[in-house]
Structure formats: C-alpha cells, structure tokens
Structure 1
Amino acid sequence: MDFELTDEQRRLRKEIVAFARAELGRDVAEDDRTGRFPREDWNRCAEFGVLGWPVPREYGGGGLDPLTTMIALEALGYGCRDNGLVFAVNNHLWACVVHLLLHGTEEQKRRFLPPLSAGTLVGAHALSEPEAGTDILSMSTTAVRDGDGYRLHGTKCFISNGPVADVFVTFARTGDGVGTQNRLSAFVVTADMPGVVKKRELPKMGLRTTPMGVLEFDGTPVPAANLLGREGAGYQVFTSAIEWERSFMFAAQVGAMERILENSVAHANARRQFGRSIGTFQAVSHPVADMKIRLELARNLLYKVGWLKREGRMALVEATMAKIFISESLVQTAQASMDLHGARGYVADDGVERELRDALAGPIYAGTNAVQRGILAELVGVRGALSGGGGGSR
C-alpha cells in the first residue's frame, strides 16, 4: 500500500484547507456559546461541493473515491475550527447519504441525492430511542402497514442535525415482538410529512453548532416507495453502513489532531517561563511528541480503511480500530493541549477548552467505544465478547 498523496489529492487538500480557513468558522466562539447552527457556513460548504464529495456525479455529487473522500474530510477538519459544523457535515454524509447510496432505488437516489449534495436538504439518522440506543433491536418505534404505505408511531432521540434536518433515514419495527433482526425496516422520512414533530432541541457539552434533538412520529404516513431496501432488511441496512460511519466520520478528527498539534507547538515555542520557552522543558515537549505519534498512527489507520473501501474490500476490523483509536487519541491530544496552555487553555478566549469539549463526544457517538472493543474482540476470535454488554446511546 502506498499512501503517498497523488498530485490531484495534494491540490484538493490545499484548496480545501484554504477554503475552510477563509470561509468557515468566523463566528465559532459565539455560535458555540449560543448553540447556533451556522447555516451560512453550511451553504458555503454546499457551494464548495463538500456535501456531495462521495456521491457519484450522475446524482449531483463530486464523485470522489473513498480514499480521496477521507483525505478531503481530514483537510476540512484541519482547516475548519468549527468542529460542530464539520460534525454536522459528517452526520449528513455518513448517517443519511451513505444509506441512500448503498440501498436507495434509482428513483430514491435521483429524488434525494441531488438536493442533499446541494445542501438544500439536510440529512439525519433517526435510530436511537429513549430506551434503545446501542441495543437497536429493542426499539419500539413501529411502522404498521396502511394501504399502500405505512404509519409510523414512536419517539427518536439524540438525533444529530435533527432540529434542522429535512430528511431522516428512519428505523422502525415492521413485525411483532422485539429482538429479531428481520422485524426492522428502514425508511426515508421527510420533515414535512404529517405527524413528524421536532419535539425539542437538546443542549450539549460540546459540538454545540451541530443541533441535536428529539423527533416524534404520530401516525406519520410513509409511502411504500420510501422504504429503503426491502421490508424486514432494516438491520442489514444499518450494519452495511457501519464501516463507513465508524471510520469516515472520524477522518476530520485526524485533521483536528494536526491543527491542535500545530497550535501546541507554536505556544510551546512562544510562551516563556524562567527565562526560556516552555518547550525546552520535557514536561511540555514529551506530550507534544506523543501528539505527533498519535496523529501518524491515526492517519495510517484511517488511510488503510479508505484504501480498502476504494478497492471494494471489507474493512470492519480496521474501521472498528480506527473509531476507537482516533476518537480516544483526539481526547488525549486535546487534554494535553489544555495542560500545555495552562490557564490560557481553560478560559474560553482561545478555543482550547472548546477543542476538548468537542472531542469528548467521539468515544460515545457512532457506537460507544466500550461496545466497539467487544465487537473487535469478537472479530479477532473471542467468543461471546459482546455478551458482557456495553453502554451508551448513539
């Protein structure tokens, strides 16, 4: 495997970093404080093509291959200081768009992918429920046959992009009982359908510019044409996107790690104590060295997944490792940066504390790392590794 960037990939990365630095996150401190979704920056991302990077050109996208898409998302995370905006983009792509790419009918793709790529529609994933997070087979939302379609009843929560989303890839039971895989189905539900209620927005510790909310379906009529895949295949629809969500969603975090490292190096060289720069003290320089080690290992894991998906190969083990390692490495790097900056890092002026608040969600979303470790143990041959359970809602 040769992970050296091509000339085209280097050019693209340079253009993305320049765009993100110049156009995105200008008001990130205030947007973070108020929890405002930066719609103007979202539109700028759409105009630049970000929201359609992995979508084929025939459906209005950029047609980037998987590895190039990862490189592009890494560059976006590096150049954009608004981690919440970048997370909203990733939810749009890997919790909504990818499901349509993998399972949508031709009519569904032509109906939804062009406006999703253009940013006129915002995508989200309606999966988690108050009593069903990691244990998705226990969900209680139902889709009951009604004439030529279905009626949805239930409540979904912790929906990133939910309060501003127009399209929800929604999972519901279409059979009796719980716990059986073939009783789940997936649907494309639009926010303007009768009975779709955006109940409330949930305030968060970090990633505040990605709105999160609660969604209710009160007898929502959904046409059979909006069934994603066949009836009863919802679990397969969900699991088929796991490799994409649990690796591509974290590409931007690798970019954020590089940005934090560079800021930390600059501060270590500029800040002086006891007559010399603080970077000359091992207590400062060694954590910076660890930042670099984590960055390079994270990037290698990430690019391997991108290469495997570009070659059309399975990458579940690699994607699971990438999700665990990258999310935890970002937390460690952000914490080390705060330690290095001292009181300057703790106050809100420079955004160092925001990096840490934003990073803390990574080990939780897209499947908690406790559960991911159980999955990984099973994948490498430990029988029943998942039976001990794990926690956390998606």
Structure 2
Amino acid sequence: MDFDLSPQQRRRADHIRTGAGKLPPTGPDGIAGRDCWLAAAELGMTGLCLPTEYGGGGLGALDTALCLEAFCAGGADTGLAFGIAAHLLACGTVLTDHAGDPVRAELLHGLSSGTMIAANAMTEEDAGSDLSRLATTAVADGDHYVLNGRKSFVSNAPLADVFLTYAATTPSAGYLGMSVFAVPRTLPGLRVGAPLAKTGLDGCAAAQVEFTGCEVPARYLLGPENQGSGVFQRSMIWERACLPALYLGVMEVQLDRCVAHAKHRRQFGRSIGTFQAVSHRLATMKLRLESSRLLLYRACWDIDQGHAAAAESAALAKTAVADAAVANALDAVRVFGARGYLADDGIGRQLQDATPLHIFSGTTEIQREVIARSLGL
C-alpha cells in the first residue's frame, strides 16, 4: 500500500496549483464567467477525466480528485471549481459512457476545451432525493422525444450549452421509467431562468430550466430508454467521490491561514496559539482534514480499480468531507474571532461555501442510508 504520490501526479498538481492563482477574477455579481472557464481549461481542468481522443486528460477518479484539490489549494474560486466538477462528473462521464459516437464527437471536444459548458438537470421542486417523483416527461414521437417540465437548482445553467436532463419516459414505473437526454441549449422550447440568489458558491451560477414542447432528437438519448436511474447512480459515485476533493484544497489553505493567525495574533501578552483552547482546535481541524482526505482517496481508488464497494466508499468519503468542511469552517471563524465574521476576509465565506456539501449530490442523510445498507441494515 503506497501512500505517496508519483512524480507525475506531483508535477500535475503543482502546475494546476500555480495556474489557479492566476485565473481572472469573478464578475461583480461573484459569478465566474466564460473567461474564467477558458482560463481553467488552459490548465486542463474542464477535460480532466474525459477521453483523450476528444481532447480530455483521460484521468481516472483519483487523479481527477487530486487536480480538483490542487485547483482550490491554489486559490481558485470554490464556486468555479464546483461548477467544473459538476460539468465533468455529472455530465462528462455520462456522455463518455452512454452517448453514441456522433454525439460524443459533437459534445465532448467542446466540454474538454471549455468552449462548451454542461449542466446536470435532475432536481425538481418535488423531486430531490426521491427520484421516483420526476414530473418532467419525455414522450417518444417518431425520431424525437418531446420534453415538458421544469428543473430547479441547475448548477451552471445560466452559462450552459448542453443540459443532461432526466425525464420520465414511463411515468407509471417511477425511478425504473426514467431516461436521460443531452439537450442542447439551442433547441426551441428550452428556457433558462434568471440566476438564483444563493448564500454560497456564488462563482457557480444556478437557475431553473423549463422545457415546453421541447423536441429532442432521439440520438440525444443517453443509454437505453428507461435506464436513466442506473446512469444517474453511476455518475453520482464519481461525483460523490471526486467533487468533495475541492474542499480538501479549501481546508488545506484554511488551516494554514488559521495557524499563521494563531502565531501572529497576541492576547494577554502571548500568541493565541499557545493557549490550549486554540491549539487543540487547530489540531482537531488537522485531524478532520487528513482523515477525510484518506477516505476520499480510497473511494477514488475503488472506482479506478472497479471495486463493487465504490458506492459505499463514495458515501463514506462525501459524508466525512462534508462534516469536516463545515466543522473546520466554523472553527476557522472562531479562531479569527470578529475578523472571521467580516465579509472581506473570506473566512466566513468558506462556511457559506461548505454548507451545501451536505445537500448536493445526495444529502448526508442519504449517504448514511447507503452506508447503513452496506452494513446489512
């Protein structure tokens, strides 16, 4: 069992970490625009795990996670990193595994180069964790499907060029009657709403997406009809294992800042880091970071090895990183005191950015259910 990174992995991570600090700033509204995406693409971020024949990096899950971690450790906006991860893991992996060759050629080159942005349109107002409640329908009509319905909280939607959309093709079958389509933004009947106001991850814009009589050519059906549930679950294993890696990068920088502050800040005639109440808090932050990092690396390794336990490992990893990211962000605010609550310093923003990790890609409660079932409960 080798816990060290290879020289190639180190060089790749160093390259990304250095480049992440030179990205264009987000817009006045905090949203990372196409200039940010194209700059990230120059580092290879938008095509990490996509096939090399379409311009991607051809990386496995572990190497993809290492790159996401380095990206945020280098200073990339957390919302931008989240949007890129969703573009890759919830969308790019599905197109790679389930699109026909013409659609792969049409879309994957653009996704890899960052000239096309993908969004995952699954969640609805009444269908979050319960996939059997999808109200969006897709009705076969000759050589196309007619989509009707509304999707909520679609990350990347305001910028997206293609939407991976899950819809009920056999509504009476619940989650066994769901299919997935790649829906180009240019198709008539697709409307993207205004960006949603969020409390964190501002760099990744999100919006509602509505389909009204949207005719989608049958070639954009991904995988067999009514097999969308299996497609979705496989993509979620990748997303749950790899996406939280960006928070490892955030926590690494966060801890470094807290340690530096504890050494510099003086109260009662000495640095606050010499007080056990502060030093033990920092030690606990380090423990959370390193233990969750090991679980995430193990989950990604399970995916790369094709192990059946990958779903359980991904659930363990996502839960551990979510708990660590929120707890560490709260501890960072307390270490910095009143300064940690100021918007300009960015410490409070880390708490706002960490909180949704308990919600997206399957809530922490759903992850604990996956873990419990793996125990035979």
TM-score relative to the length of structure 2: 0.97
Contact 1:76–1:252, Cα closer than 8 Å, also in 2: yes
Question: Alpha-carbon deviation of 1:27?
Answer: 3.5
The percentage of aligned residue pairs carrying the same residue is 43
Matched residue, 1:233: 227
Letter in 1 for 2:249: G
Instruction: For 1:37-116, list aligned pairs within 5 A.
Output: 37-116=32-111
Matched residue, 2:266: 272
Contact 2:332–2:340, Cα closer than 8 Å, also in 1: yes
Matched residue, 1:128: 123
- Cα-to-partner distance string for 1:263-288 (whole Å, 9 max, x where unaligned): 11111111111111110011111110
Matched residue, 2:112: 117
SS of 1:360's partner is: helix
Contact 1:73–1:252, Cα closer than 8 Å, also in 2: yes
Letter in 2 for 1:209: G
Letter in 2 for 1:167: V
Matched residue, 2:19: 19
Contact 2:99–2:220, Cα closer than 8 Å, also in 1: no
Contact 1:138–1:178, Cα closer than 8 Å, also in 2: no
Segments ≥4 residues shifted beyond 6 Å: none
Which segment drifts farther, 123-132 or 99-108? Answer: 99-108
Matched residue, 1:288: 282
Contact 2:319–2:364, Cα closer than 8 Å, also in 1: yes
Structure 2 residues without counterparts, runs of 5 or longer? none
Superposed CA RMSD in Å reads 1.3
Question: Alpha-carbon deviation of 1:57?
Answer: 1.0
- Cα-to-partner distance string for 1:218-242 (whole Å, 9 max, x where unaligned): 0000011000001111111111212
- 1:182 aligned to 159, 176, 181, which one? 176
Instruction: For 1:234-383, list aligned pairs within 5 A.
Output: 234-314=228-308, 315-382=310-377
Letter in 2 for 1:244: W
Question: Alpha-carbon deviation of 1:364?
Answer: 0.7
Instruction: For 1:156-167, list aligned pairs within 5 A.
Output: 156-167=151-162
Question: Alpha-carbon deviation of 1:3?
Answer: 2.3
Separation in structure 2 between the aligned mates of residue 80 and residue 327 of structure 1, nearest angstrom: 20
Contact 1:200–1:215, Cα closer than 8 Å, also in 2: no
Question: Alpha-carbon deviation of 1:209?
Answer: 1.3
How many equivalent residue pairs?
376
Structure 1 residues without counterparts, runs of 5 or longer? 383-394
Separation in structure 1 between the aligned mates of residue 35 and residue 276 of structure 2, nearest angstrom: 43
TM-score relative to the length of structure 1: 0.93
Separation in structure 2 between the aligned mates of residue 54 and residue 294 of structure 1, nearest angstrom: 27
Separation in structure 2 between the aligned mates of residue 199 and residue 81 of structure 1, nearest angstrom: 27
Contact 2:50–2:88, Cα closer than 8 Å, also in 1: no
Question: Alpha-carbon deviation of 1:12?
Answer: 1.1
Contact 1:123–1:166, Cα closer than 8 Å, also in 2: yes
Question: Alpha-carbon deviation of 1:178?
Answer: 5.2
Contact 2:136–2:148, Cα closer than 8 Å, also in 1: yes
SS of 1:186's partner is: strand
- 2:201 aligned to 201, 207, 210, which one? 207
Question: Alpha-carbon deviation of 1:49?
Answer: 1.1
SS of 1:355's partner is: helix
Taking structure 1 as reference, are residues 204 and 176 closer, same or farther at Cα in structure 2, changes over 3 Å only?
Answer: closer
